[in-house]
Amino acid sequence: MDRHIYFDHAAATPLLPEVVDAMLPYLHEHFGNPSSLHAWGDAPREALAVARAQVAGLVGAARPEEVIFTSCGTEANNMAIKGLAMAQQARGKHIVISAIEHFSVLYSVRTLEKRGFTATLVPVDKYGLVDPQAVADAIQPDTILVSIMHANGEVGTIQPLKEIVQLAKERRVPVHTDAVTTAGTIPVDVMDLGVDALTLAGDSFYGPKGAAALWVKRGTRIIPLLDGGIQEGGRRSGTENVPAIVGMGVAAEIAKAKMPERIAQATAVRDALLNRLPAAIPHTIVTGHPTQRVPDIASFCIEFIEGEGMLMLLSSKGIGVSSGSACTSRALKGSHVLEAMGVPAEIAQGSMLFGIGIDNTLVDVDAVIEALPPIVERLRQMSPLYDKYLKSQKGG
Partner 1 sequence: MPVYSEKVMDNFMNPRNVGEIADADGIGEVGNPVCGDMMTFYIKVRDNRLEDVKFKTFGCGAAIAVSSMVSQMATGMTLDEALKLTNASVAEELGGLPTNKLHCSNLGADALHAAIQDYLKKKGGNGDGRKAE
Ligand X SMILES: Cc1ncc(COP(=O)(O)O)c(C=O)c1O
The answer to whether the Cα torsion of 371, 375, 378, 380 is positive or negative is negative
DSSP one-letter code for 346 = H
> Which of 59-67, 204-212, 250-258, 293-301 is the region at the interface with a second copy (rule: CB under 8 A)?
204-212
What is the smallest separation between the CB atom of 180 and ligand X, expressed in angstroms? 4
Question: Nearest-CA neighbor of 389 among 350, 338, 362?
Answer: 350
Q: Which of 13, 54, 74, 349 binds ligand X (CB under 6 A)?
A: 74
Binder of residue 177, out of ligand X, a second copy, partner 1, none (CB less than 5 to 8 A by kind): none
**Contact between 184 and partner 1 per CB under 8 A:** no
Instruction: Annotate each residue in 23-52 with x if it binds partner 1 (CB under 8 A) or - if it does not, as one string.
Output: --------------x---xxx-xx--x---
360 backbone dihedrals φ, ψ, rounded to 5°? -75, 145
Could you count the other beta carbons within 10 Å of the beta carbon of residue 256?
A: 17
* For a second copy, the closer CB: 71 or 177: 71
What is the smallest separation between the CB atom of 395 and ligand X, expressed in angstroms? 43
**Contact between 239 and a second copy per CB under 8 A:** yes
Contact (Cβ atoms closer than 8 angstroms) between residue 235 and residue 86: no
Q: Which of 104, 120, 335, 360 binds ligand X (CB under 6 A)?
A: 104
> Which of 135-143, 226-234, 259-267, 385-393 is the region at the interface with a second copy (rule: CB under 8 A)?
226-234
> Which of 72-80, 213-221, 278-286, 314-322 is the region at the interface with ligand X (rule: CB under 6 A)?
72-80
Contacts of residue 249, defined as CB under 8 A and 6 or more positions apart, other chains included, come to 22, 47, 50, 51, 52, 53, 54, 55
CA 28 to centroid of chain Cα atoms:
31
* Residue positions annotated with a catalytic role: 327
* For ligand X, the closer CB: 204 or 349: 204
Question: Nearest-CA neighbor of 266 among 354, 395, 371, 153?
Answer: 354
Contact (Cβ atoms closer than 8 angstroms) between residue 289 and residue 159: no
Contact (Cβ atoms closer than 8 angstroms) between residue 188 and residue 179: yes
Contact (Cβ atoms closer than 8 angstroms) between residue 124 and residue 99: yes
**Contact between 6 and a second copy per CB under 8 A:** yes
* Contacting positions for partner 1 (CB under 8 A): 37, 41-43, 45-46, 49, 304-306, 308-309, 312-313, 316, 330, 332, 334, 345-346, 349, 381-387
* Contacting positions for ligand X (CB under 6 A): 72-74, 77, 102, 104, 149, 153, 178, 180-181, 201, 212, 238-239, 326-327
